[in-house]
DNA sequence: AGCACGCCGACT
DNA sequence: GTCGGCGTGCTC
């Protein structure tokens, strides 16, 4: 009798199990292949995980597979292994994890894009000096096409310009006779070769590249540790070039593509036609195309944000994680994975080197580099010969501040501007004022849905909750006693207004999430800043990201104190990183810049360390502290969160969870439940339980057993339980 | 999660 | 009488 075969299938449901199906004789799906299947009363999409001889449930319950969606697997075997681990490690349903690795269109069962259908290629089609009214976007498009000297796809154009051009926009330009479209010739166009690196490499850079390439095919992890301006990007690009030259694919992860348009442009220019970019700004179709181009090796270099980690890359040879300290690598909802940690795991599974780059590495990474588990590559010298900036504190108890600004800060700004250099003023709070309050009766404008004050946004005359987005019109007088209200605390918008009064004739810009919301606004702002001579830029941490500016003489930090005294696990570390990243903007090409920090606590150990200026030295005491308290990297944490519509039921459920966790705890401390630091967000109440252990295994045992229990005795539907393994913040 | 079944309240 | 509220149970 012919042997029947069965497959075990992953499905996009929050059920922590796989489902077995009978294979009709003509269907022999391989692991990683998408299939359509009957599920309950409907049809759904699944991914085959493995073949099995005997199903896990009685054969009477087994149903037959519907159909294959693709002729071949869409996910590779090593990627499936990574996804299995991910589900186990983060205690998340495997089906959701697996389907999450697919672009949304494929998750819903859409067909793969047909690689034989070429995209349009665009070229400039305009007489050189024909006088015409052309907008800045159109001009930039035409300039990019002329510079490329070859017709480009829309994707390639967007990579080069960062404009996010839509098809309709290009078609409008074509209708006006500015552009012409032609179908792509067979095969990829090979635009003009850009040659090797633009600047000669330093010996340190050459050594780093040689070390990385020397580990090809081995799961070696590198920490590429170098201050701003030390040329980490050149090391990435050159290592990538050599890996590509050997026929491998390269994955470069970056924290947020939207904030680093310069990097995409730089990579696209260096590797024309070879780069696929994957990030949240893409429309569904573009995302699918980029993903599939990377999967098929059509574009062997994939540049993307954290989710790009799950892209199948059959010939992957090298992974680079840029700015590894950036918390954006940790997904904060649903599947709480850390893309940097999983990148390292992927390196092990696929046996390839992983490069973690940062000027301010996390304590976790530094500790592993110090203990020798990672190879530590240092780029100490800046290729342009500049020295690091001097860091000084301004004691706000001595120097009073008005709208956030002290007199010495203003003096330093005047000096810097007089030298023809720029001032960057960093304040990590957007909006106008922190709160709206009444001096007479003490009323404060609070969010009706969260435990948070509403932030004043004067420009749009509204108050906004930064937690849930609730907004309401600004009121002039107190709703309780009718007295006029006062704006308390300073945000970037208020700082901008104050500075425009102090420096009425100086160019002034603001850079924060609100100012760059419109498409292309960030690119325009960065361009303006770069073109500006002396001037002032006010902004949030976006200012501290790795943009390159040539003329910054002063970086002023308005308020670090909330970072010094926050009780959160990583507050000190992250404050250090933020200040140093910001400081990295100061001083280029011979001119050391200056960093001025306003603080009420200049004697605080962190501030003393900052003045000394050496990140590695500052980290020592922080690591000691972590060791003594058993915190990461010397101990392991997991956070169990319960949230629900009412405070009492949520608390009861959290208490039951904690009881269950304690029942299974072996060498695991179970702390709580306690109301989460922001107890109420978006009309939901949140309780949390912290698990701590000196061993990973015991933590996972406790979580696993508890999870099994609640799968069997599920809590009411309106209560949600989520597990955050290796939480980045306890808030 | 989806989806259906099931058992109680105010409508044409 | 029946449309529809959301509690509960199941999915190979």
pLDDT digits (tens, 9 = 90+) for A624-657: 999 999 999 999 999 999 999 888 889 999 999 9
Any known ligand binding at A450? yes
The residue whose CA lies nearest the C1' of nucleotide B3 is A41
Say how far apart CA A394 and CA A467 lie, in whole Å: 31
Q: Give the H/E segment covering residue A494.
A: helix A492-502
Asked which of A133-142, A378-387, A652-661 is least confident by mean pLDDT, the reply is A378-387
Q: Is the pLDDT of residue A458 over 90?
A: no
Cα gap A284→A162, rounded to integer Å: 18
Q: What is the pLDDT of residue A131?
A: 55
Q: What angle do CA A713, A714, A718 make, to 5 degrees?
A: 150
| The pLDDT value given to residue A222 | 98
Output A205 or A142, whichever has higher pLDDT: A205
Integer Cα distance of A354 and A242 in angstroms: 15
Instruction: Report the pLDDT value the prediction gives residue A368, as an integer from 0 to 100.
Output: 97
Strand C lies under 7 A from the Cβ of residue A110: no
A668-681 vs A684-693, strand pairing mode: antiparallel
Min mean pLDDT across A192-201, A369-378, A517-526, A558-567 is at: A192-201
Is a pLDDT exceeding 50 seen at residue A288? yes
3-state helix vs strand vs coil in chain A, percent to 5: 35, 25, 40
Which nucleotide, over all strands, has the C1' atom closest to the CA of A40?
A: C11
Strand B contact with A617 (CB < 7 A): no
- Distance, in Å, from the CA atom of A266 to the CA atom of A250, rounded to the nearest integer, reads 16
From residue A233, give the alpha-carbon distance in Å to each of A195, A212, A330. Answer: 16, 14, 22
Closest among A611, A600, A610, A603 to A399, alpha carbons compared: A600
CATH architecture assignment, domain A390-433+490-628: 3-Layer(aba) Sandwich (3.40)
Dist. CA A588–CA A551, nearest whole Å:
7
Rounded percentage of chain A residues whose pLDDT exceeds 70: 95
Exposure pattern of A496-510 as b/e (b: 16+ CB <10 Å)? bbbbeeebeebbbbb
The answer to whether the beta carbons of residues A208 and A235 sit under 8 Å apart is yes
Contacts of A139 (CB under 8 A, 6+ apart): none
User: How do residues A476-495 score in pLDDT, each as one tens digit?
Assistant: 888 888 888 888 889 999 99
Look up residue A718 and give its two tokens. Answer: 């309106």
Residue A122, number of CB atoms within 10 A of its CB: 26
Question: Position of tokens 């003509």?
Answer: A26
Question: Which of A17-26, A38-47, A208-217, A567-576 bottoms out in mean pLDDT, i.e. has the lowest?
Answer: A567-576
Domain A5-100 has CATH 3.40.1440.60: yes
pLDDT of residue A384: 64
What's the CA gap between A275 and A271, in Å, rounded? Answer: 7
CB A423 within 8 A of CB A536: yes
Pick out the nucleotide with least CA–C1' distance to A57: C12
CA A304 to chain centre: 9
Q: What is the per-residue pLDDT for A386?
A: 64
Q: What does the block give as tokens for A102? A: 């697919």
Q: Which fold has domain A203-379?
A: Rossmann fold (3.40.50)
A438 labeled binding residue: yes
pLDDT for A416 equals: 93
CATH of domain A636-725: 3.30.70.600
Residue A423 annotated as lining a ligand binding site: no
Residues A34-40 have a mean pLDDT of 96
Listed residue (A629, A641, A631, A632) closest to A703, CA to CA: A641
């Amino acid at each position: 009798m012919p042997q029947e075969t069965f497959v075990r299938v992953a499905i996009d449901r929050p059920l922590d199990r796989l489902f077995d199906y009978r294979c009709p004789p003509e269907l022999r799906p391989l692991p990683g292949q998408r299939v359509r299947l009957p599920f309950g009363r409907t049809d759904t999409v699944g991914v085959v995980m493995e073949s099995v001889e005997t199903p896990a449930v009685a054969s009477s319950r087994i149903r037959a597979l519907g159909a294959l969606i693709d002729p071949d697997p869409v996910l590779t075997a090593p990627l499936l292994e990574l996804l299995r681990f991910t589900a186990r490690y983060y205690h998340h349903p495997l089906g959701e994890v697996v389907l999450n690795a697919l672009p949304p269109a494929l998750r819903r069962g859409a067909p793969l894009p047909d690689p034989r259908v070429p995209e349009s290629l665009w070229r400039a089609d305009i007489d050189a000096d024909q006088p015409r009214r052309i907008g800045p976007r159109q001009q930039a498009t035409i300039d990019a096409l002329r510079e490329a000297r070859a017709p480009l796809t829309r994707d390639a154009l967007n990579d080069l310009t960062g404009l996010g051009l839509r098809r309709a926009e290009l078609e409008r330009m074509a209708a006006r006779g500015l552009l012409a479209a032609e179908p792509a010739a067979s095969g990829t166009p090979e635009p003009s070769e850009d040659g090797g690196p633009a600047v000669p490499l330093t010996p340190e850079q050459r050594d780093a590249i040689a070390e990385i390439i020397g580990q090809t095919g081995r799961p070696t992890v590198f920490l590429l540790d170098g201050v701003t301006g030390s040329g980490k990007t050149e090391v990435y690009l050159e290592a990538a070039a050599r890996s590509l030259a050997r026929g491998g694919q390269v994955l470069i992860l970056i924290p947020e593509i939207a904030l680093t348009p310069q990097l995409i442009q730089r990579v696209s220019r260096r590797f024309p036609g070879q780069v696929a970019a994957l990030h949240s700004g893409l429309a569904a179709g573009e995302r699918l195309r980029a993903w599939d181009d990377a999967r098929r090796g059509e574009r062997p270099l994939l540049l993307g944000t954290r989710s790009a980690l799950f892209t199948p890359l059959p010939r992957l040879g090298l992974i680079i994680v840029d700015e590894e300290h950036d918390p954006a690598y940790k997904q904060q909802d649903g599947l709480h994975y850390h893309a940097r940690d999983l990148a390292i795991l992927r390196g092990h599974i696929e046996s390839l080197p992983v490069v973690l780059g940062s000027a301010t590495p996390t304590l976790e990474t530094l500790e592993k580099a110090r203990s020798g588990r990672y190879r530590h590559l240092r780029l100490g010298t800046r290729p342009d010969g500049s020295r690091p900036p001097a860091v000084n504190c301004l004691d706000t108890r001595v120097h009073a501040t008005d709208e956030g600004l002290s007199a010495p800060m203003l003096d330093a700004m005047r000096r810097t501007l007089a030298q023809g250099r720029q001032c960057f003023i960093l304040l990590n709070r957007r909006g106008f004022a922190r709160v709206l309050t009444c001096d007479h009766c003490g009323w404060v404008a609070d969010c009706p849905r969260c435990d948070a004050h509403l932030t004043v946004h004067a420009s749009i005359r509204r108050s906004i909750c930064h937690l849930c987005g609730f907004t309401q019109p600004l009121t002039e007088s107190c709703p309780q006693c009718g007295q006029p209200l006062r704006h308390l605390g300073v945000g970037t918008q208020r700082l901008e207004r104050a500075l425009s009064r102090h420096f009425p004739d100086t160019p002034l810009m603001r850079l924060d999430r609100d100012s760059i919301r419109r498409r292309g606004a960030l690119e325009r702002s960065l361009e303006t800043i770069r073109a500006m001579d002396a001037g002032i830029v006010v902004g949030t941490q976006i200012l501290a990201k790795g943009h390159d500016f040539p003329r910054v003489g002063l970086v002023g930090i308005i308020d670090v104190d909330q970072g010094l005294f926050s009780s959160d696990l990583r507050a000190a570390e992250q404050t250090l990183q933020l200040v140093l990243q910001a400081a990295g903007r100061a001083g280029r090409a011979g001119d050391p810049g200056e960093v001025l920090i306003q603080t009420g606590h200049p004697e605080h150990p962190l501030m003393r360390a900052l003045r000394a200026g050496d990140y590695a030295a500052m980290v020592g005491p922080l690591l000691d502290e972590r060791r003594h308290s058993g915190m990461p990297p010397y101990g392991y944490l997991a956070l169990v969160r319960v949230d629900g519509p009412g405070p009492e039921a949520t608390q009861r459920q959290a208490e039951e969870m904690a009881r269950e966790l304690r029942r299974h705890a072996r060498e695991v401390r179970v702390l709580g439940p306690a109301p989460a630091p922001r107890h109420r967000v978006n009309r939901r109440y949140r309780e949390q339980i912290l698990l701590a252990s000196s061993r990973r295994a015991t933590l996972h045992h406790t979580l696993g057993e508890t999870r099994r229990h609640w799968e069997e005795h599920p809590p009411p539907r309106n209560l949600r339980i989520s597990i955050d393994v290796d939480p980045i913040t306890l808030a």
